[in-house]
Chains A and B, each alone.
Chain A
Amino acid sequence: MTECSAVSESMPLLLTESLDAARREVTHQHIESCGICSDEWNAYKETWAVMADLPEVAVPARVKAQFLERAGLAPVETELPKNVVPFHKRTAFKWIAQAAAVALLVGGGYFVGDRQKPDFVTPATATLATGNDSIRPISTSLAETRVLDADALSPVIEGRPNISNIQFVDADAADEKIAVSFDVTSHWTVNGNPRDKSMVRLLSYMLENEAEMTPRSNTLEWVRQTYSDPQYADPEIANALAKVLRNDSHEGVRIRAVDTLTTLPPTVGLQARDALIEALKSDPNPAVRIKAVEALANMARNGETLDPMMVDTLRQKASQDDENLYVRVKAAEALSNIKP
């Protein structure tokens, strides 16, 4: 090994100050006396400095909340302002409160179980209602899991019921049915064909309203798997995805929405294309714009017709000086692939 190559191999160690004093001295002396190694050393230092351009990213607050929840720890209590008097539990009341809670549960359970009315869910602020009165009445009691066919569910979801703990099940791939289970005031499972309007609306609602990012992402994945099949093509699903792309606060979810839109069958392609163009025009995150322009470039490459508005947007993006360079290159590529 020549002295230069030995010195070159020591340069990363020199940068991280991992060389012992004697070797550091020898290496520096060689660098000062050798033009090639001096240039090499400057390049190392510059590369090391350029790497500092990668900023630290803040951890989203939800990660800590989720971790503490999984660890069985309550979120950290904040210190009360000095002008707030803390309320201390009185031990004697604890037993009275527990007795009252038991009485309420027993009485409430009996009352609810005794009614035998048609199925409905009434959360505090909204209603997820069944479609008609002729459905099979299901006895209800507290903490019961209820199973319902999608056609028994009103296709209109009123208000904003708080749906959580969503899970998707396809127990039998051959039976053309899927199932969605979730919690409203109790645990529900809705079975139905992906073509059922009620199922479409329920999934659309979940896409747009689920508060947590991971279930939204999972719903997108489920929708991608199910509705990429041409037999289930539904413009309402395309519209719901377009809304996610337009409104979701998490760029990862918006990116996944682009991915899902691009897999939809051509029969609902118009809604998908409009949403992609809108994202390319106005999404604040370049990563989402990149995804959108890549999708449009692929469409152009595959010979799909792009309308004049889309072509205008691509032209505008290709020549927009302050746009991300990759978006500009991809927009130009899409334009060059458009068939006359």
Chain B
Amino acid sequence: MKHLSDQDLMRIVQAGDYSPASEIYDRYSGRIYNFAFRFLKNAEAAEDATQEVFVKMLRHANQFHGDAKLSTWLFSITANWCRDYLRKADNKSKESEDVLVTLPASAEYSPDRTLEQRENEQRVRRALATLTPEQREAILLSRYQGLSYAEIAQVAGCSEGAVKTRVFRAMETLKKTLAVVGGREDARRVAPLEAANRGAS
């Protein structure tokens, strides 16, 4: 299976044979899980999202026409699932609560990650949490998944112009939140102040 292209694997699935499911999962589960985890800020929900996306991929395989990349189609399903998740009122309230609390231990405690790296990681997570879901979706797909603006537009169901605006606004917010004015050192100096303010409020 490993030598087959995504399109070939999907053709087999479309014919009713699910045997390529494991290979497709291995190719894309990491990207799907990380996107969902960063979007939802909740490890349990990201696990559910990953599982659901691949189950939907099998159930609705015939909706994949091969004119788009498989990754784009899978991200569309993931983004839809995540948006639905955030739309539910109880999950929304849980989302804000979980901003600081659902960090997977594996990355957090990897021995080769320094304290400084971990603090930066926290700051980036918090900064991403300040974005609107639309901006967060666009910046995550652009920065971490390397999707083009046209592909993001397909995933988000909006125009390319809207994607450009979302990425621009997201970057403006992140620039301010991460307070990168004169380089990374400045950013680190303001971080404790931010945290203290957050704690005080």
User: A and B, one complex?
Assistant: yes
**Interface of chain A: mostly helix, strand, loop or mixed:** helix
CB of A333 within 8 A of CB of B50, answer no
8 Å CB contact of A252 from B25, B44, B110, B168 = B44
The reply to whether B142 and A16 contact each other, CB–CB distance below 8 Å, is yes
Check: A144 CB closer than 8 A to any chain B CB: no
Interface assignment of B29: CB less than 8 Å from any CB of chain A:
yes
Stretch at the interface among B2-10, B72-80, B120-128: B120-128
Q: Which residue of A lies closest to B47 (CB)?
A: A63
Report chain A residues within 8 Å CB of B103.
251, 285-287
Known: A46-B183, A50-B120, A51-B174. A12 touches B199 (CB 8 A): no
| Residues in B whose Cβ lies below 8 Å from that of A137 | none
Assembly CA distance A288 to B100 (angstroms): 10
When C-beta atoms are compared, the residue in chain B nearest to A62 turns out to be: B47
For the complex, is A9 an interface residue (Cβ under 8 Å from B)?
yes
A251 touches B104 (CB 8 A): yes
* Interchain CB contact under 8 A, A251 and B105: yes
Residue of A nearest to B50 (CB): A63
Bound: A64/B103 CA distance, A: 20
Residues of A within 8 A of B (CB-CB), count: 56
Chain B residue nearest to A70 (CB atoms) is B55
Contact A326 B101 (CB under 8 A): no
CB distance from A122 to the nearest CB of B (A): 34
Whether B88 is near chain A, meaning CB under 8 Å from some CB there, is no
- The one of B104, B105, B107, B175 in contact with A47, judged by C-beta atoms closer than 8 angstroms, is B175
Count, A-B residue pairs, CB within 8 A: 160
Q: Are the C-beta atoms of B18 and A73 separated by less than 8 Å?
A: yes
Interface residue? B19 (CB, 8 A) = yes
Chain B interface residue count: which class?
35 or more
Give the most central of A18, A217, A284, A288: most B CB within 10 Å.
A18
Q: Is A48 an interface residue (CB 8 A)?
A: yes
Is the C-beta of A57 less than 8 angstroms from some C-beta in chain B? Answer: yes
A72 interface contact, C-beta 8 A: yes
> Is B195 in the interface zone, CB < 8 Å from A?
yes
How far, in Å, is B198 (CB) from chain A's closest CB? Answer: 7
Determine which of A12, A54, A290, A329 lies in contact with B38 in the assembled complex, contact meaning CB atoms within 8 Å: A54
Q: A18: nearest residue on chain B (CB-CB)?
A: B149
Which of B29, B54, B105, B174 has most A Cβ within 10 Å?
B105
| 28 contacts across the A-B interface (CB closer than 8 A) | A16-B149, A48-B143, A48-B171, A50-B123, A50-B187, A54-B124, A54-B128, A56-B30, A56-B107, A58-B106, A60-B47, A63-B50, A64-B29, A67-B25, A67-B50, A67-B54, A67-B55, A71-B21, A71-B58, A73-B19, A73-B22, A217-B44, A251-B103, A252-B43, A284-B109, A290-B101, A325-B192, A332-B199
A-B pairs, 4 with minimum CB distance: A329-B199, A53-B120, A46-B180, A287-B101
- Interface of B with A (CB < 8 Å)? 18-19, 21-22, 25, 29-30, 33-34, 37-38, 43-44, 47, 50-51, 54-55, 58, 100-110, 113, 115, 117, 119-125, 128, 142-144, 148-149, 164, 167-168, 171, 174-175, 178, 180-181, 183-184, 187, 192, 195-196, 198-200
